[in-house]
Chains A and B, each alone.
Chain A
Amino acid sequence: MSSIQIAFIAILFLILQLLLVDLLSLNLIRPDFLVIFVLYLSMYKGRLYGMIIGFSLGILSNLFGVGSYFGLEPLTLTIVGYLTGYLKNIYEKVLPYIFHISWVLIMLFHFFIICYFRFQNIYISDLIEFLFLWLATTSYTMLFILSMQFIYPFKEVSSAEIS
Chain B
Amino acid sequence: MHSFYLSILKKKEHLLFILLIAFSLNLLLKNDTPNSILVRAKFLDSFSFISSPSMWLKTIIQLEQETQLLREKNLQLALQSEEMVRSYQENINLKKLLDYKRDSNFDLVASKVLNMGSSSNLSSITINVGSDDGVKENLPIIIPEGVIGKTILAGKSTTLVQLITDVNFRASVRIYPSGSVGILRFLRDDICEVREVQKNAEIKLGDTVLTSGFSDIYPPNLKIGSVIEIQDEIGSFQKIVKVRISSKIGSLLNVFVVRNGNNE
A-side residues, CB < 8 A to B, are: 14-15, 17-23, 25, 27-32, 34, 47-48, 51-52, 55, 58, 61-75, 78-79, 82, 85, 111, 114-115, 117-122, 129, 133, 137, 141
Name B1-35 residues within 8 Å CB distance of A. 12-13, 16-17, 20-21, 23-29, 31
Number of A-B contacts (CB under 8 A): 165
Q: Is there contact, CB below 8 Å, between A23 and B36?
A: no
The listed residue (A25, A70, A121, A137) touching B27 by CB distance below 8 A is A70
The listed residue (A14, A52, A62, A137) touching B121 by CB distance below 8 A is A137
The answer to whether the Cβ of B58 comes within 8 Å of any Cβ in the partner chain is yes
Distance, CA A117 to CA B168, complexed state (A): 9
The answer to whether the Cβ of B134 comes within 8 Å of any Cβ in the partner chain is no
B-side residues, CB < 8 A to A, are: 12-13, 16-17, 20-21, 23-29, 31, 36, 39-40, 43-44, 47-48, 50-51, 53-55, 57-58, 115-126, 152, 160, 162-163, 165-169, 185-189, 193, 249-250
Q: Is there contact, CB below 8 Å, between B118 and A14?
A: yes
* Across-interface contacts of A78 in B (CB, < 8 A): 17, 20-21, 24
List 10 additional contacts besides A65-B116, A74-B23; criterion CB under 8 Å.
A18-B51, A20-B54, A55-B23, A55-B24, A63-B44, A64-B50, A66-B117, A67-B168, A71-B24, A74-B24
* Across-interface contacts of A82 in B (CB, < 8 A): 13, 17
* Across-interface contacts of A120 in B (CB, < 8 A): 167
Q: Is there contact, CB below 8 Å, between A64 and B120?
A: no
Known contacts A68-B166, A70-B31: does B125 contact A23 (CB below 8 Å)? no
Distance, CA A15 to CA B47, complexed state (A): 11
Q: Is there contact, CB below 8 Å, between A64 and B118?
A: yes
Tell me, rounded to whole Å, the shortest Cβ–Cβ distance linking B203 to chain A: 19
Known contacts A20-B54, A30-B121, A118-B167: does B160 contact A65 (CB below 8 Å)? yes
Tell me, rounded to whole Å, the shortest Cβ–Cβ distance linking A75 to chain B: 4
Q: Is there contact, CB below 8 Å, between A121 and B186?
A: yes
Known contacts A20-B54, A55-B20, A69-B28: does B189 contact A27 (CB below 8 Å)? yes
Q: Is there contact, CB below 8 Å, between B51 and A64?
A: yes
Q: Is there contact, CB below 8 Å, between B168 and A74?
A: no
Q: Is there contact, CB below 8 Å, between A70 and B36?
A: yes
* Across-interface contacts of A73 in B (CB, < 8 A): 119
Q: Is there contact, CB below 8 Å, between B123 and A70?
A: no
23 contacting pairs across A/B (C-beta < 8 A): A18-B50, A20-B54, A22-B54, A23-B54, A27-B250, A29-B121, A31-B120, A32-B120, A48-B16, A51-B13, A63-B39, A64-B48, A68-B169, A69-B31, A73-B119, A74-B24, A74-B27, A75-B25, A75-B28, A78-B20, A118-B167, A137-B120, A141-B120
Q: Is there contact, CB below 8 Å, between A133 and B31?
A: no
Q: Is there contact, CB below 8 Å, between A114 and B13?
A: no
Distance, CA A15 to CA B172, complexed state (A): 38
Task: Name the residue on A nearest B13 (C-beta).
Answer: A47
Tell me, rounded to whole Å, the shortest Cβ–Cβ distance linking A50 to chain B: 10
